[in-house]
Structure 1
Amino acid sequence: MTDPTDAADLRGHACIQSYLGSLDGSPGVYRMLDERQAVLYVGKARNLKKRVASYAKPSGHAPRIARMIRDTASMMFLTTRTETEALLLEQNLIKQLKPRYNVLLRDDKSFPNILVTGDHPFPMIKKHRGAKQEKGSYYGPFASAGAVNRTLTQLQRVFLLRNCSDSMFDSRTRPCLQYQIKRCSGPCVGHISEQDYRGSVRDAEEFLQGKTTRVQKQLAEEMKAASDDMAFERAAALRDRIRALTQVQAGQGINPAGVAEADVIALHTEGGQACVQVFFIRANQNWGNRDYFPRTGSGAEPAEILEGFIGQFYDNKEPPRMLLLSDEIEDPDLMAEALSQKAGRKVQILVPQRGEKKDLVAGALRNARESLARKMSETATQGRLLAGLAEAFDLDRAPERIEVYDNSHIQGTDAVGAMIVAGPEGFLKSQYRKFNIRGDDLTPGDDFGMMREVLTRRFKRLQKEDPDRDKGLWPDLLLIDGGAGQVSAVASIMAEMGVSDIAMIGVAKGIDRDAGKEEFHRTGRRPFALRHNDPVLYFVQRLRDEAHRFAIGTHRAKRAKSVGATPLDEIAGVGAGRKRALLAHFGSAKAVSRAGLDDLKAVEGISEGLAEKIYGFFHARG
């Protein structure tokens, strides 16, 4: 690794030129830094010396690259054994450092799958998100939780598989509502044999694998046989199942015959903004699509945008066997090699020119174009609202980052603080934060004390993580749910923190506490109101309501967790999985506390040492 010390007094081309003597032709990753050592850009190179030399030329660069070179005050280098390693390292550093001139994927959530469990005589079908540690067969990814839920609902109508937990299954003495509404075959109370239920599981898995023809043909034959036997109720039930199966396929829209497994990725750029549309094709079925709006690194070309997106998108996801792209990327062979290495099998990258694959890309491209048009329209509207907010509240300029705070509790119990963030692109949900109120010395229900703890923790973290305020993490405006008292309290907290240049506005309900009659409070000024039909008023109401929604949801989750707490949570080595196993085996935490040592050892996943620890924990407590 080369440390940026030799070029301390140089800038731009001269700075970059000064590093060439210490570089060779090794592959690796380079970082360009500004005078404050903030990372401007992270790049990979097959030959570090050649790549860096290209930046040292005084002319011939695109405007974006020219600006980046001008801002460069130092560089850092890390050599790798292969160019593939350099590519993987580059994408990891981009996600970690978020450099200004790189393409950056801003929404990188995991996708849900459908799981057919494999550790029970009567497997269940359910939605699964996260690491695939549970035994069973996984099908996905689906583009959204909504897409999974719709598919699961229809599959339950068709195949009548259970979706209850194992503990609920074991404790049933009569069928549940799912059986009554014909979404489960009632295996918990013996209404279907294990062999017949396994047949339904096999049919469901074949459907999820794309083998729909056999399943539909079999259901049709069963319906005809039932009708011939004059078992009209069963025939009607089978007819309903066939209809539900057809609805699943219709809801999937495009179902390509010649593409079994692929992600279709299309890019549309306009006005310095980009939208990437991803369609998930699995088992010859369309399992939904998602749009992404990556940061374009101040105007990168389509090839760089798409390559940056793919590298970051598959950093924590398993790639399919084929990627169908709308544009060529800079190093398709290298990217294919990196993805193949990650997947443990061959991954193809194609830019189709004709046929069904070309049609799939064209459809994704149309969606990308329409999504970007909507996004740009919403951004323009948001910009007008932010400008109106600045005018209404006499701010120096339209805020780039608004933070809204709220608290939620019931008589002081399970207290949480919540912070939401909004800006020119709307609500930034990845920036939302929740705070478990920890103050032992707080009086229950002390909203001022809770707000003090939340803001103190928030701004101490900001001062630590972004002391120079150059990462875009500091707010321009704070919205507080409350009146003059809350604003005064927040002002004193901020003064103690040494923060005096952030505007604060308290949003209080009017005399009748009706929406539309809000009063606004600022330090040292008289409260005022906006006219009833002012768009800025509606905008502030939306911000406050979103903060309230997030706070209430966080509080409910915390309360639900505390309601479900048991003494097992206090035992080291008993995590969520072993806790579930113990509760499923014994029925309750109280029964676990009374269990003998041999009974504890009989539970799957509980070792002899852990069984002794659990027994000793409850024995000591007794």
Structure 2
Amino acid sequence: MAMARERVLAEVAALPGLPGVYRYFDINGQVLYVGKARDLKKRVSSYFQKDLGGTRIGVMVSRIARLETTVVRTEAEALLLENNLIKTLNPKFNILFRDDKSYPYLKLVSHGFPRVAYYRGAVDRKHRYFGPYPGAWAVKETIQLIQKVFRLRTCEDTVFNNRSRPCLLYQIRRCSGPCVGFISAEDYARDVRDTERFLLGEQQQVVDELQAQMMAHAEVLEFEKAAELRNRISALARVLHQQSMDESSLSAAGREVDILAVKVAGGRACVNLAMVRGGRHLGDRAFFPTHVDDATALAADESSALAEGDAVEPLNAEQQLAVAEQQVLQAFMAQHYLHSTPPPVLVVSHAVDKALLAALSAQTGVKMVALHQPREQRRIWLDMAIKGCELALARLLAEEGSQRERTRALVDALDLAIDNLDTFRVECFDISHTAGEATQASCVVYEDHRMQNAQYRRFNIEGVTGGDDYAAMRQVLTRRYAKLAELVSSDGPASVAPGSKARLPDLVLVDGGRGQVTMAREVFSELGLDLSLIAGVEKGEGRKVGLEELVFADGRDKLALPPDSAALMLIAQIRDEAHRFAITGMRAKRASVRTGGSRLEDIPGVGPKKRAKLLQRFGGVRGVTAASVDDLASVEGISKELAEDIYRALH
């Protein structure tokens, strides 16, 4: 470590005074921190020129064994590279927002009679796009409104081109029926223009024009048409009323706004993003970053320990919270807007660095302005976003607190020697099949107080008698733990880092009673693994939920937990997730096997009736494939010659 530190200091001394990005690594090659600098030499040197002991940043600096830097041309390029590396490397001391799905848009598809559609993905110039929207529900809600007020079609072009009579949407007055010529191209184009203006925020102008059309129809005694327009205006007016917006206080640019509120508490953070498009508040979405505790503490230390000039007074608790929230907000802005088109106006709960705005503007091509203390309507929007942020964070902390208590209750109930609850790992197995067909096993993982979906695994069970759950359990446990047992026996348990996917769990649950546990005990004995890891979840009296009992492989007595036990609730949650995951996999496998019946359809002489008899007799295509010629010929209507043809076609 001392030699590594000497190399790092030599590299720091040779750094250029240019903009760039730096990366710190520990002695194991794990990335600790990614940062950007206007002057690499000045910035990186500041970490090593002062005594930072006793602070979070001091802890990080003491672990630095290697340094990497990349020189760029501008601060905007440094910002882009920094956030790309943060997402790629997942450093411990950086705030990280997980990539979400791309935001959805409302699309007006180019056509003689354009249709309105939900869209998610990269936009192009061929069609008109409106958004982005905070979620699918916001897009679908807007489409429903467009159907009510402007009656644009939503059907695919293939449907539109082959209609001979109007569909149900026309009957319920949600479409004007352009597919069968019930509206002229000119009138439909007018409705499309009104839709575009409405989505761009010109709602009042659209209402005024609809009212003028209604009066014109009334004057020539076309009262039915006038009544239709009246109903459209009423539907549109209700939406405008729900927005509760003072339009006179908004400029044209003020109709495209993102509102960002941040809150940090309990070691977690929340950024609430609310979107306003065309003057309409479309809703909000909460984001929860990781590494908040380490990263925000590091930022607070940096603000004082790395400050230039004389010593700076240490920050009090309120100031540290403000710095943390500002850091979280700026991290979100950098990671969220670099690869998207931001609105020109951001309303933010905390002041943000002007250099960040300049870099984002340079990168995205949109001149961005951040308003920290807005007034009038924007103030209302910000207050709404702040309240939503507080509620979302409180809900998250409550859920995590409840789940943590469940973890602790399970560890205590089983008397497990667990030092760190955050690394407590449970793997649960279940077998699923339909009368022996399409047997699959599932393995789900519970760690860090939540289900780890990315670590779930399914196992196709082969070479066992259909319906033999014990043999299936033996196979899946052997496949899961054989290599892991070799690793643990050769290198020792201590060599496998906590939290690693390649380590033995602290508890193995199998869905079943003594039979399944006996099979698991045999597998673990053969592999030389600890039998105390295994517990079976046995159905209680009457197979009622809440009366489950735990059966242990090491000879301990059965354990019946109270129905209201937090430990039992967690066990049921994990077991039910394993059951769900196994069933969905089995059904997908079964469907793929059964659709293989098309192989029978291609055989000359095998019609629907004979195919049905074969599948019924042998339980599916797999059974037909496994049958001999004589077995096939024993089915009513299948001759010896046809049986031979079927056998040859399937082998």
Give TM-score, length-normalised by structure 1: 0.76
Aligned to 1:264: 259
Identity of paired residues, percent?
38
Aligned to 1:322: 345
1:348 aligns with 2:376: no
C-alpha distance in structure 2 between counterparts of 1:327 and 1:381, whole Å: 31
How much has 1:112 moved relative to structure 2? 1.3
C-alpha distance in structure 2 between counterparts of 1:212 and 1:220, whole Å: 12
How much has 1:27 moved relative to structure 2? 2.0
1:108 aligns with 2:71: no
Query: Contact 1:320/1:347 (CA < 8 Å) preserved in 2?
Result: yes
Distance 1:64 1:360, change over 3 A: farther
Aligned to 1:512: 542
Instruction: Please list the CA deviations of residues 17-66 of structure 1 after superposition, one character each: whole Å capped at 9, or x if unmatched.
Output: 34322222122222222221211111111112111211113435782212
Aligned to 1:204: 195
Distance 1:132 1:362, change over 3 A: same
Query: Contact 2:430/2:579 (CA < 8 Å) preserved in 1?
Result: yes
Instruction: Please list the CA deviations of residues 52-81 of structure 1 after superposition, one character each: whole Å capped at 9, or x if unmatched.
Output: 211113435782212211222322222223
Secondary structure of the 1:298 match is: helix
Aligned to 1:194: 185
Query: Contact 1:141/1:287 (CA < 8 Å) preserved in 2?
Result: no
Query: Contact 1:324/1:349 (CA < 8 Å) preserved in 2?
Result: yes
Alignment map for 1:581-600 (pairs within 5 Å):
none
How much has 1:103 moved relative to structure 2? 0.7
How much has 1:305 moved relative to structure 2? 2.0
Secondary structure of the 2:553 match is: coil
Given candidates 225, 231, 237, the residue that maps to 1:246 is 237
1:291 aligns with 2:289: no
Q: What residue identity is the alignment partner of 1:294?
A: P
Query: Contact 2:461/2:475 (CA < 8 Å) preserved in 1?
Result: no
Aligned to 1:172: 163
Alignment map for 1:154-553 (pairs within 5 Å):
154-226=145-217, 233-250=224-241, 252=243, 257-258=250-251, 259-295=254-290, 296-298=292-294, 300=296, 301-329=324-352, 331-333=353-355, 335-352=356-373, 354-397=375-418, 398=421, 400=423, 401-402=425-426, 422=446, 426=450, 431=454, 433=456, 435=458, 449=472, 456=479, 468-469=496-497, 473=501, 476-487=506-517, 503-510=533-540, 512-524=542-554, 525-549=556-580
C-alpha distance in structure 2 between counterparts of 1:40 and 1:203, whole Å: 54
C-alpha distance in structure 2 between counterparts of 1:249 and 1:452, whole Å: 62
Secondary structure of the 1:40 match is: strand
Distance 1:418 1:319, change over 3 A: farther
Given candidates 87, 98, 101, the residue that maps to 2:90 is 98
Return 107-116 or 401-410, whichever deviates more.
401-410
C-alpha distance in structure 1 between counterparts of 2:269 and 2:81, whole Å: 24
Given candidates 62, 65, 73, the residue that maps to 1:73 is 65
Instruction: Please list the CA deviations of residues 491-511 of structure 1 after superposition, one character each: whole Å capped at 9, or x if unmatched.
Output: 777788997699454434335
Question: Which entry has the higher C-alpha Rg, 1 or 2?
Answer: 2
Query: Contact 1:456/1:497 (CA < 8 Å) preserved in 2?
Result: no
How much has 1:290 moved relative to structure 2? 0.8
C-alpha distance in structure 2 between counterparts of 1:131 and 1:82, whole Å: 27
C-alpha distance in structure 2 between counterparts of 1:94 and 1:224, whole Å: 60
Secondary structure of the 2:98 match is: coil
Aligned to 2:116: 125
Q: What residue identity is the alignment partner of 2:553?
A: T
Query: Contact 1:455/1:493 (CA < 8 Å) preserved in 2?
Result: yes
Secondary structure of the 1:9 match is: helix
Distance 1:441 1:312, change over 3 A: farther
Q: What residue identity is the alignment partner of 1:529?
A: A
Query: Contact 2:517/2:552 (CA < 8 Å) preserved in 1?
Result: yes
Distance 1:253 1:30, change over 3 A: farther
Distance 1:262 1:538, change over 3 A: same
Return 538-547 or 404-413, whichever deviates more.
404-413
Given candidates 11, 24, 27, the residue that maps to 2:16 is 24
Given candidates 3, 9, 24, the residue that maps to 1:9 is 3
C-alpha distance in structure 1 between counterparts of 2:264 and 2:113, whole Å: 50
How much has 1:114 moved relative to structure 2? 1.1
Structure 1: 5+ residue stretches without partners: 1-6, 568-622
Query: Contact 2:531/2:553 (CA < 8 Å) preserved in 1?
Result: no
Query: Contact 1:112/1:129 (CA < 8 Å) preserved in 2?
Result: yes
Query: Contact 1:252/1:287 (CA < 8 Å) preserved in 2?
Result: no
Q: What residue identity is the alignment partner of 1:512?
A: G
C-alpha distance in structure 2 between counterparts of 1:131 and 1:170, whole Å: 27
Distance 1:405 1:27, change over 3 A: farther
C-alpha distance in structure 2 between counterparts of 1:353 and 1:28, whole Å: 34
Return 82-91 or 476-485, whichever deviates more.
476-485
C-alpha distance in structure 2 between counterparts of 1:272 and 1:283, whole Å: 37
Distance 1:358 1:214, change over 3 A: closer
Q: What residue identity is the alignment partner of 2:364?
A: A
C-alpha distance in structure 2 between counterparts of 1:552 and 1:324, whole Å: 47
Secondary structure of the 2:193 match is: helix
Q: What residue identity is the alignment partner of 1:324?
A: V
Return 252-261 or 485-494, whichever deviates more.
485-494
C-alpha distance in structure 2 between counterparts of 1:559 and 1:133, whole Å: 40
Aligned to 1:84: 76
C-alpha distance in structure 2 between counterparts of 1:451 and 1:43, whole Å: 50
C-alpha distance in structure 1 between counterparts of 2:243 and 2:60, whole Å: 44
C-alpha distance in structure 1 between counterparts of 2:338 and 2:478, whole Å: 34
Query: Contact 2:441/2:472 (CA < 8 Å) preserved in 1?
Result: no
Structure 2: 5+ residue stretches without partners: 297-323, 488-494, 599-651
Q: What residue identity is the alignment partner of 1:541?
A: A
How much has 1:220 moved relative to structure 2? 3.0
C-alpha distance in structure 1 between counterparts of 2:378 and 2:484, whole Å: 49
Aligned to 1:47: 39
Distance 1:411 1:242, change over 3 A: farther
C-alpha distance in structure 1 between counterparts of 2:541 and 2:218, whole Å: 69
Query: Size of the alignment, in residue pairs?
Result: 553
How much has 1:105 moved relative to structure 2? 0.9
How much has 1:284 moved relative to structure 2? 1.6
Q: What residue identity is the alignment partner of 1:332?
A: K
Distance 1:141 1:557, change over 3 A: farther
Query: Contact 1:390/1:399 (CA < 8 Å) preserved in 2?
Result: no
Query: Contact 2:98/2:289 (CA < 8 Å) preserved in 1?
Result: yes
Secondary structure of the 1:52 match is: helix
Distance 1:144 1:516, change over 3 A: same
Secondary structure of the 1:396 match is: coil
Return 137-146 or 517-526, whichever deviates more.
517-526
Secondary structure of the 1:171 match is: coil
More helix by share: 2
How much has 1:528 moved relative to structure 2? 3.5
Secondary structure of the 1:24 match is: coil
RMSD (Å) for aligned C-alpha atoms:
4.0
Q: What residue identity is the alignment partner of 2:546?
A: G
